Amino acid sequence: MAALKDTTAIAGIGQTPFARRLPSSEKTLACQAILAALDDAGIPPSQVDAFASYTMEETDEVEIAKAIGAGDVTFFAKAGYGGGGSCATVAHLAAAIATGQATVGVAWRSRKRGSGPRPWRNTTAQLPTPAQWTRPYGLLRPVDEIAVLARRYMHEYGATRDHFCNVALACRNRAHQNPAAVMHDRPLTREAYMDARWISEPLCLFDNCLETDGALACVVVPADRARDCRHPPVYVHSAAQGLPAQHHGMVNYWNDDPLTGPSWTAARHLWKTADFGPEDVDVAQIYDAFTPLIPLSLEGYGFCGRGEGAAFTEGGALEPGGRLPLNTAGGGLSEAYVHGFNLINEGVRQLRGHSTAQVPGATTCLVTAGEGVPTSALLLRS
């Protein structure tokens, strides 16, 4: 059986500015990010022969390939479930390259969520299955769906708003160090968090990610080629997707154990093929559309036991010097919400030693896609 482990690497990363409103189209932003990533790798666009994206992406391979001047493309894939598919793009490219289907793969994300409409407002698209069971009752938005799970989690394990605030503060503090972050100059305090308006109790404004315009991309190549590129290779050590048995997506209320989600499934596969375990992870980029996803993911990926994710956030564990520095560019909560792709690029920067909140000597990084929907994850190493 062909092995994925360390046979491919991320050789280039690129991104546009992030803002609530950018004038360029999603297609233009995508091309800018992709060309920046290829330039970062030192690879001409004509050598690109693979593409990977994930759903809720409005640009496609045909438009992108002809715009950037890609060559003949022999692999293209699109992973499902929006923010659950971010890491799957790199996983699919790595699998294609490791099995000889392509040699230079580009994964990308371009979004105008900051200036565009919210997906939940489109009731024609949102109301059919399974929303017939939820939307009529006013469970309208992703935040409402997660608020239900968050309250149950608080009830079962004694988690508090202080724990969710620990997550929000860690991300905001890292954004404060990152000039590219939307919230770079907007400090947050625990008092401001506690006084913030509700969005869906028990979740307040600062439990929610940003809405951002912007695009990112990365380039995946064979490991031996990556060693000839401009930056040290960041190896794809392990990759996994996760759709648990009897899972129901964001409204995961209908199985025996709603508080164990896709992270648990992805994690089991991720660690099975890895040379190291959770205790060896130096820094983590964990999908943070909502703060409660962090304690759930910490449990799912094995950094602590069941029900211990909230307590894990105490004592500065997610801050520099803590047990697991988190979302070191600010994450979706405070850098940019581009469906988690910014977490991949920040993972690469950490392992190159180039983060604005660099973890000294970091050699391993976990990157995750959205918990709460069918998900994906990567273990990166330098």
Partner 1 sequence: MSPTPPMPSMDSTSSIMQGTTDNGLLAPWPDEDGAPFWEFAARGELRVQGCADCHRLRFPPRPCCPHCQSFGSEWRRMTGRGRIWSYAVPHPPLLPAYAELAPYNVVVVELAEAPHIRLVGNVVTASDAPLDSVDPALLRIGAPVRVAFAELAGGVTVPRWLLERP
Report the distance separating Cα 75 and Cα 69, nearest Å. 16
In the complex, least distance from residue 358 CB atom to partner 1, rounded to whole angstroms: 37
In the complex, least distance from residue 146 CB atom to partner 1, rounded to whole angstroms: 9
In the complex, least distance from residue 244 CB atom to partner 1, rounded to whole angstroms: 13
HSE-up (13 A, CA, CB side) for residue 105:
32
In the complex, least distance from residue 116 CB atom to partner 1, rounded to whole angstroms: 15
Neighbours of 339 (CB within 10 A): 28
Closer to partner 1 by Cβ: residue 201 or 228: 201
Residue 364, phi then psi, degrees to nearest 5:
-135, 140
Closer to partner 1 by Cβ: residue 61 or 144: 144
- 81 part of the active site: no
Residue 214, phi then psi, degrees to nearest 5:
165, 170
- 337 part of the active site: yes
From the candidates 153, 157, 193, 287, give the one annotated as an active-site residue: 287
In the complex, least distance from residue 256 CB atom to partner 1, rounded to whole angstroms: 6
CA distances for 161 relative to 195, 206, 305, 356, angstroms: 11, 11, 20, 28
| Six-digit token string for 156 | 């079962």
CB 345 within 8 A of CB 218: yes
In the complex, least distance from residue 202 CB atom to partner 1, rounded to whole angstroms: 8
Query: Each residue of 236-253: b (16+ CB within 10 Å) or e?
Result: bbbbbbbbbeebeebbbe
| Six-digit token string for 200 | 């869906």
- Burial class of 155 by CB neighbour count within 10 A (0 to 12, 13 to 18, 19+): exposed
Report the distance separating Cα 99 and Cα 343, nearest Å. 26
Q: Catalog residues that contact partner 1 under the rule CB under 8 A.
A: 118, 121, 123-124, 127-141, 144, 147-149, 151-152, 155, 197-203, 246, 248, 251, 253-256
HSE-up (13 A, CA, CB side) for residue 208:
19
Closer to partner 1 by Cβ: residue 68 or 250: 250
Closer to partner 1 by Cβ: residue 133 or 275: 133
Closer to partner 1 by Cβ: residue 129 or 191: 129
From the candidates 81, 153, 193, 337, give the one annotated as an active-site residue: 337
Could you list the active site residues?
A: 287, 337
